[in-house]
Amino acid sequence: MRRGDKLGPYTLVAPLARGGMGSVWVARRDDGGLVAVKTMLPELGASAAATQMFLEEAKIATAIVHEHVARVHGAGSDAGSLYLAMEWVEGFTLRELAETCERAGERLPLSVVLRVAAETCAGLHAAHELRGPDGSPRSIVHRDVSPHNVIVGLDGRAKLIDFGLAKVHDRDATSSGSLKGKIRYMPPEQAMGMKLDRRADVWAMAATIVRALSGRAPYDGRQDVAVLADLLSGRAPTLDLPAEVPLTVRRMLERALARDPAERHASADELRRDLERCLAQLGPKALTPAGFMGRFAMIAHARRADIRGALRGLGFHDESGVVIDIKPARRRARPGGAHALAALAAVLVSLVGIQTFARSSMRAASPAPARTAIARTGEALAVASGVAPKAVAPPPPAVVVAQPGVSSAAPSGSPARRAAAPRVRRPAVTPSDFDVALKDRR
């Protein structure tokens, strides 16, 4: 797949992420809106099992309608390529947020993690409660709940995504003997190939919370093989939580991570109610996800600028879908216009030359310039993104030029010193200064 390729009514604009089964693109609908389009990897196109999993994901995700589950607009096949068009959420995955804070030497705030988890549990419970046309429960198990599959929008709202590994009733598109999912967020019964129910997703949700709060998953070996060995050994998970995490939160997580599913919360909704009680104990002044996401507005703006540039490169005018007039019509020149323009250009050149000469002759010593507002903004974004902005080289030593009637020791506030002070060029801030590695590589 390449930029500009068409899949049904969608034009691929820019790649977003690549997972085990497919790649995700930001795409433009024919009517001008933006969507996220998931396509199956070409090397899996000939696999009947992979095709079945992709179609199953489309069927499940389309049937779930909830404010905390990313909506699916449609699915189809174009020139042999399967695709799934989903709601475009302008934000970042929980994994991206956690890793960005960790690079800055921080942790995600407790209140933010608990609120995001509570909203994700609400969406997860909606999936678990889904029923078929005949009213019978479909018994959906997501099987891949993790920080990678929770998106937090700039408005602070959390949404669950990616039902590619979801299991319905006893149908399972994975091949016999294979292990699907992210090992570090996988409950013991899933690692052992046992029958799963919604309590497997409860365990994975608790593991996601632990990772967001502590920077480590409950089973966090250097290699997946070591993690799998811990899962199968029966060893209790490690909860290396910060000291400020209340005891009520610790006990809630210990229950949700119980090895025996019967000892866990019976549903995602029960876990959500526990999360709400923990949030209530933090008080009404606790930081909200909406307030926290304001720290990432500049990074989101840079990403938005990249998307607009890609749209313009394809002949579209940003998100509105208005086609750019690449070859505008020429205006007819008025009689004598060429002579007037030539005269004006000569005057401007003369003025620029005079001004340049005056500046060079009046440059004098001045103290080092203070940090500009843009530089301070760059430093603040470095804390949010964990990436230091580009260093601005200090100005070269000024040359003192003696001038008749002007003392070099003139007071700093005097007209002579102000006239002699060199102009300070404000450092440019470009999207590349804040281009953090926020690609969702799995």
Active site residues: 144
Measured CA angle at 128 (ends 174, 229), to 5 deg: 50
- Count Cβ atoms below 10 Å from residue 17 Cβ, excluding itself: 17
End-to-end Cα spacing for the chain: 19
What backbone phi and psi angles, to 5 degrees, belong to 276?
-65, -40
In the 3-class helix/strand/coil scheme, how is 330-362 assigned residue by residue? CCCCCCCHHHHHHHHHHHHHHHHHHHHHHHHHH
Buried/exposed code over 338-374 (b: 16+ C-beta within 10 A; e: otherwise): eeeeeeeeeeeeeeeeeeeeeeeeebbeeeebeeeee
- Count Cβ atoms below 10 Å from residue 291 Cβ, excluding itself: 13
CA distance 385 to 101: 7
Measured CA angle at 333 (ends 330, 335), to 5 deg: 165
DSSP annotation of 168 reads: B
Structure tokens, 260: 């025996």
Buried/exposed code over 89-117 (b: 16+ C-beta within 10 A; e: otherwise): bebbbbbbbbbbbebbeebbbbbbbbbbb
Structure tokens, 44: 């899996």
Q: What is the β-pairing status of strands 10-18 and 440-441? A: parallel
CA distance 142 to 161: 10
Contact status, residue 253 vs residue 210, Cβ threshold 8 Å: yes
CA distance 418 to 144: 64
Task: Give residues with Cβ within 8 angstroms of 295, minimum separation 6.
Answer: 384
Name the residue among 378, 438, 386 with its Cα closest to residue 101: 386
Task: Find the helix packing angle between 373-385 and 297-313, rounded to 10°.
Answer: 100
Task: Give residues with Cβ within 8 angstroms of 122, minimum separation 6.
Answer: 66, 67, 68, 268, 269, 272
- CA distances for 89 relative to 5, 26, 152, 155, 160, angstroms: 22, 10, 8, 10, 11
